């Protein structure tokens, strides 16, 4: 299926469910004066945050998108509790990646390197701290690089998690590889092919398993990870891939799908590991995407279905936080960017704290007066 595009609180965004390359919009000129470089909200946990990048090569399989490459190359960005608060902040993305993003989203009238100037909170290559830390794998939406989930990743690291964010090569507008090559979105040419979504999530599940295999030997801080406590979360088709990875790999104990149409085939006998749907209004029961209705019935373990009132598809990413830097006024959606980030961080962390740290979270069991935008489905939400 094709997705419609809209300028929504920061970027021209995918306004439907999980995947397929967007139909290019007309160029979007700033509708308000750009505010200068964006600053991601500060992490809410007790720990300083460090980050580093790993580059992995899976020689056991060819790349599914580039027929000229006989091995799958992946960039994995790690965020983790760090010993130091001071140091060089990690870049949000490179100037070239920013240029390709601006081209991808057809945003005109602001400098091409604008997004590369976004201020992050993590210290580049800081020394890790902590022991027996749970691991969270993150997967971004189709066409989006891993950097678009930086705010969530930094917050989880500050709360005592190691986060491994995967750039699925050739599935986003830009992935910079260690020799300086920039891999662009080859998969975008195939998004209307039959079975495209299923193929993407299966490929990403293989990426996840490979990263879990490689992490112990490729990162010096990997001895700090408790490999019995692993979860996965993702936005859009990254969320759909969380379910696919759990079906394929029993090491992933719990999962979160943030607003992604699901494609993985769940066994008819059911699926008992904890899973949470966290979505926008398109994912209310009986809404236009029925994949959650279908899979909800097959989830036999702990499960939650939450809908954020006023949220749109990209509100679970950094997109709305970047709006001011691009001079873009929201075209739709009523949830402020900072509030969307707070809600996403809060509920993702609550799920992970309950299922990876064994810390009960009443927030997940009933509506909260502090977070009235969050509806618990199917009992207390409906189409509106």
Structure tokens of 310?
């006023």
Tokens representing residue 301 in the block: 């373990």
Q: Are 97 and 75 in contact (CB under 8 A)?
A: no
CA–CA separation, 119 and 112 (whole Å):
16
Residues in Cβ contact with 179 at an 8 Å cutoff, skipping those fewer than 6 apart: none
CB 313 within 8 A of CB 237: no
Give how far Cα 24 sits from Cα of 18, 111, 285, 337, 345, Å: 17, 20, 30, 24, 30
CA distance 318 to 303: 26
Predicted local distance difference test score (pLDDT) of residue 81: 98
Could you give the CA distance from residue 294 to residue 113 in angstroms, rounded to a whole number? 43
Residue 112 makes CB contacts below 8 A (sequence gap 6+) with 95, 98, 99, 102
**pLDDT tens across 22-61, in order?**
333 334 556 677 888 999 999 999 999 999 999 999 999 9
Residue whose token pair is 């989830």: 299
pLDDT tens for the 384 residues of the chain, in order: 333 233 333 343 333 334 433 333 334 556 677 888 999 999 999 999 999 999 999 999 999 999 999 999 999 999 999 999 999 999 999 999 999 998 888 888 899 999 999 999 999 999 999 999 999 999 999 999 999 999 999 999 999 999 999 999 999 999 999 988 999 999 998 888 889 999 999 999 999 999 999 999 999 999 999 999 999 999 999 999 999 999 999 999 999 999 999 999 998 888 999 999 999 988 999 988 999 999 999 999 999 999 999 999 999 999 999 988 988 876 545 789 999 999 999 999 999 999 999 999 999 999 999 999 999 998 777 543
Q: What is the pLDDT of residues 231-252, one digit of tens each?
A: 999 999 999 999 999 999 999 9
Tokens 């909800």 -> residue: 296
Tokens of 273: 């590991």
pTM: 0.92
């Amino acid at each position: 299926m094709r997705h419609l595009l809209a300028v929504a609180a920061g970027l021209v965004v995918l306004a439907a469910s999980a995947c397929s390359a967007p139909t290019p919009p007309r160029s979007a000129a700033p509708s308000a004066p750009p505010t200068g470089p964006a600053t991601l909200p500060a992490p809410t946990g007790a720990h300083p945050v460090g980050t580093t990048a790993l580059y992995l090569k899976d020689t056991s399989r060819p790349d599914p998108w580039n027929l000229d490459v006989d091995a799958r190359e992946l960039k994995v960005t790690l965020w983790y509790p760090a010993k130091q608060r001071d140091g060089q902040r990690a870049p949000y993305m490179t100037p070239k990646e920013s240029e390709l993003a601006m081209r991808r989203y057809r945003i005109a009238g602001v400098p091409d390197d604008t997004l590369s100037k976004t201020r992050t909170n993590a210290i580049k290559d800081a020394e890790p701290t902590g022991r027996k830390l749970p691991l969270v794998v993150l997967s971004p939406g189709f066409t989006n690089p891993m950097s678009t989930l930086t705010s969530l990743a930094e917050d989880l690291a500050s709360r005592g998690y190691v986060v491994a964010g995967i750039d699925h090569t050739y599935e986003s507008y830009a992935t910079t590889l260690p020799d300086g090559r920039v891999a662009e979105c080859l998969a975008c040419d195939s998004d209307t092919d039959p079975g495209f979504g299923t193929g993407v999530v299966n490929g990403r599940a293989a990426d996840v398993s490979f990263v879990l295999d490689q992490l112990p030997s490729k990162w010096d801080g990997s001895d700090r990870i408790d490999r019995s406590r692993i979860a996965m979360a993702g936005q859009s088709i990254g969320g759909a891939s969380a379910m696919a990875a759990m079906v394929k790999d029993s090491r992933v104990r719990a999962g979160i799908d943030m607003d992604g149409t699901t494609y993985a085939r769940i066994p008819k006998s059911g699926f008992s590991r904890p899973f949470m749907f966290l979505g926008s209004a398109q994912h209310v029961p009986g809404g236009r995407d029925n994949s959650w209705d279908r899979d909800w019935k097959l989830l036999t373990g702990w499960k939650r279905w939450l809908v954020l009132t006023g949220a749109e598809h990209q509100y679970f990413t950094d997109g709305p936080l970047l709006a001011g830097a691009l001079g873009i006024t929201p075209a739709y959606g009523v949830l402020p960017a900072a509030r969307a980030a707070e809600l996403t961080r809060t509920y993702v962390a609550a799920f992970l704290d309950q299922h990876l740290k064994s810390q009960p979270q009443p927030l997940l069991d009933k509506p909260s007066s502090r977070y009235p935008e969050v509806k618990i489905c199917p009992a207390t939400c409906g189409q509106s």
